[in-house]
Amino acid sequence: MGVTKAFIKNPETLFALETMRDRYWHNMAGRIQRAWRNYWRYKNECAARIQRFWKNNKEGIAYAQIRDYGHQMLAGRKERRRFSLLSYRRFMGDYLDVGGKNALGEMIRNACGITKGETVHFSMRIQLLVSKLGRSSKPSPRYLVVTEKAVHFVITTVINGATQMALERKIPLVTIRSIAMSSLRDDWVILNLTGSFEEGDPVFSCYFKTELSACLMQLTRAQISLIIAPQ
């Protein structure tokens, strides 16, 4: 061993040292690359987390505004259930995912004939009061879909063991004069229509009646009235 040099007698020792040096630099390069990839992965995760939080917060503000608008319309005028006043429930609107890629939503969208340009603002299962000849009216399950143009009622039938959906009634928003509800603790809603219709005004039970009323009022720019009376 010298000051700056080392004399190696056997070539095998030199080859072993060269191999150790290459392995050491290879391991160090892999360690640096791994640390760099971890840094970028953590940076991208943080960016996605911030974007997701901001998006959820932005959507939450819009849902909160619709929820407050609906509660203000019914405040002090209609008896409310305890669970209907929960502040954490978001007013999502399209609960059946008619405007999305859900299989059920796609069937309902095809039955309603909704085009790609139309936006579904509200959809859910309801109970429509159907009048029977010589009998009392009885609730019947339906699907309710509200777009910026009309209110759709979809019925489900079973033909030869296969479930089929058909559009039972389509009510343009311009024909709705008012929304009527009782002042009691129930979910029944009546759409009072202008003009004469053979089917009459639809009477149905909607669990999210507050959200439905707020949606219709916003779509019509409050041109329809909300009637809440004891009868």
Distances (CA, A) of 26 to 20, 21, 23, 29, 32: 10, 8, 5, 5, 10
Give tens-digit pLDDT for 69-86. 777 777 777 876 655 555
CATH assignment, 75-228: 2.30.29.30
Retrieve residue 141's tokens.
């399950």
pLDDT above 60 (res 25)? yes
The predicted-structure confidence for 125-165, as pLDDT tens digits, reads as follows: 999 998 877 677 888 999 999 999 899 999 988 888 788 88
pLDDT mean over 36-45: 92
Provide the 8-state DSSP code for 11.
Answer: H
Residue 133 is classified by DSSP as T
